[in-house]
Amino acid sequence: MTRRDMIRTGLLALIAAPFAALFRKRGETGTGYFWQIDPDKCVQCGKCETECILAQSAVKCVHQYASCGYCLFCSGYYQDKRIRFNTAGENMRCPTDAITRTYIEDPYFEYRIDEEKCIGCGKCVKGCLAFGNGSLFLQVKRDLCKNCNECRIAKACPADAFVRVPADHPYIYRKPPEVKS
Amino acid sequence: MTRLPVLLAAQARFPAPEFENYTLPRMSLEELASDSVLWRVLVLGVFLAVGSLCFYKWRSRKAMLAYSLAGLAVLGFLFASCPCPVGMFQNVAQGIAGGSYIQPGVLLLFALPLAVALFAGRIFCGGACPLGAVQELLHWKSVYIPRPLDRILRLIPVLLLLVFTVCALFGIGFPLCYFEPYLPVFLLDFASPFAILSAVFLILGLFVSRPFCRYVCPYGVLLRFFSMFSALKPRITAHECVNCRLCEQGCPNGAVLPPENAGTAAQHRAGSRRISMLVACIPFALAAGGLFGYLGAPVLSSFHRDIRLLNELEAGIRSEAVEAFESSETTEAELRARVVKLQNGILLASTAAGVLFGALVMAELIAEARRRKEEEIYTIDPSLCFCCGRCYAACPLERKEKHHEK
């Protein structure tokens, strides 16, 4: 065995050493490497819309129907300074008209997010939180996100709301969680 | 618009209505995310094996070009480049420091190119690295970089490796991945502000061979070190070298070394004097490096989220981060305790990194001052060779043999 071989073996052992970290005991939270927004920390600053490396942000508004109040005057749907409660553009909260409203039964309405139109600005989330149940919240869509090693939004997030989640629970729901059917 | 009061906890102000003929729509969120990292490792392994064959067995520039092209297409565009082995040293550093996302895939991505470098040199840089591949293919005319300038610029990656490791250890972030200049190219997003950086590097790359690999890439420092002990050494020609110098002129990366003669006694004396002077300088270099690191620590700390937050809090700046902090449950005392611990840690690590940088600079200088082993022919320095195969194409003997084979 030459000196060169010995150095090589030593270096191989060196790069194998970090694998030992795999066996260390780890906490439940924050494991895995999928970026996700913790809706309880999110302050709807609007950075999700602008900071994502993708041309169309991978962050979208999602609706947890189970915690929705199906309000007639939804504060995620209507703007604060609305002129009338009708669907004219100046009354709407959403800048891209991504929320559709359907009549269910008196006086309840269902609100759906059109993901194609949603830009992840979080305006409706802010509105819903202010006067409603907080059933609208922002999430990083797993099918859109490139899962960059360093998420640009996470870097810019003022509330430190971006966390890493494991592959088998890639979304963080609002409480109370949705009842599975 | 007036600011709405932010209420963090979801409040059930309105109970869910009880409907008669209505079922709740399901949320359309996938319950399982597909994890592509292990796939990447597999593809990378195949690439490295094929690359070694192309470079050592077939010895062909064309094969190496095809290898880079495939690397660019598959690992660059298909796998969207990120996460790639180049940035993984940061994940490993953070994982060792107690971070949470150390995973088998991440570790393998980090270790595989280094392990291959121990046996076959920098095959990874040749084309399995999408960043290397894009620079390899978009290179037009080489501008000669004077040797001293090259040696000074080559210290930048060493410094970056140390600084970025400190950043990763203390959770400041992954600056390399944040500023990675070719990411907008792979994501085909030319509207992002980072696309300017891509343009700068791409244009520079037309004239300077592999500007990122040689003068920025911190992972390249590790690869350079590991490939020094490579078992396989590339030979420019299998025939009797006629010392025509064409390979040296053909190499844009300065990896082809000219023959070295035995040297006269006077040269030897001058050489040993130079080396002893350099050795005498080592303590000063270490001290200077340490001071540099010590003074740089506050700059590094100011990029940490918590430290910046505390500074803003104390200065009375009403930033979004301060407002978010005030509505959270953490108290200022907790934040302050965390910040003090962090600042001490960063100060220590940064000083240590500075000392290490001083040592590495001296090592580089001494290596430069030493005479190489006597050699009669043009040889390849495996630690600088990016396995592009240009020297094979430039060598007239190799060309003649290829011609005869046909």
Each residue's pLDDT tens digit, A53-87: 888 899 999 998 888 889 888 899 998 888 888 88
B384: contact with A, CB 8 A cutoff: no
Question: Nearest residue of A to residue B321 by CA position?
Answer: A158
Q: Quick one: which of B339, B342, B350 has its CA closest to B297?
A: B350
Sign of the CA dihedral with B51 first, then B55, B56, and B61 last: positive
Of all residues in chain B, the percent with pLDDT exceeding 70 is 96
- Residue for token digits 């969120």? B29
Which of B22-31, B62-71, B316-325 has the least mean pLDDT?
B22-31
Put simply, the answer to whether B178 touches A155 (Cβ < 8 Å) is: yes
| A170 in contact with chain B, both atoms CB, cutoff 8 A | yes
Domain ranges of chain B: 37-235, 265-367
Q: Give tens-digit pLDDT for B340-397.
A: 999 999 999 999 999 999 999 999 999 988 888 888 999 999 999 999 999 999 999 9
Look over chain A and give the mean of its residue pLDDT values, rounded to a whole number: 86
What percent of chain A has a predicted confidence (pLDDT) above 70?
91
- Neighbouring CB atoms inside 10 A of B328's CB total 16
Side chain identity at A36, as an amino acid letter?
Q
Q: What are phi and psi of B127, to 5 degrees?
A: 180, -20
pLDDT at B6: 38
Question: What mean pLDDT is reported for chain B?
Answer: 90
Q: Residue A11: CB partners within 8 Å, gap ≥ 6?
A: B114, B118, B226, B229
Dihedral sign (CA B371, B373, B376, B377):
negative
What is the per-residue pLDDT across B49-108, written as a single tens digit (0 to 9) for each? 999 999 999 999 999 999 999 999 999 999 887 888 999 999 899 888 876 667 888 889
- Whether residue A26 lies within 8 A of chain B, CB to CB, comes out as yes
Nearest CA in chain B to A71: B14
Q: Which residues does chain B have within 8 Å of residue A33's beta carbon, measured at their own beta carbons? A: 37, 83, 101, 103, 106
Chain B hits for A45, CB-CB cut-off 8 Å, are 320, 324
Q: Per-residue pLDDT for B22 more than 50?
A: yes
**pTM (two decimals):** 0.91
For residue range A112-126, list pLDDT tens digits in order. Answer: 999 999 999 999 999
Q: Do B1 and A81 contact (CB within 8 A), yes or no?
A: yes
Q: Is the pLDDT of residue B35 over 70?
A: yes
B 37-96 residues inside an 8 A Cβ radius of A: 37, 80, 82-83, 87-88, 90-92, 95-96
Q: Is the pLDDT of residue B275 over 70?
A: yes
Find chain A residues with C-beta within 8 A of B223's C-beta: none
Interface test with A, best of B39, B78, B107 (most A CBs within 10 A): B107
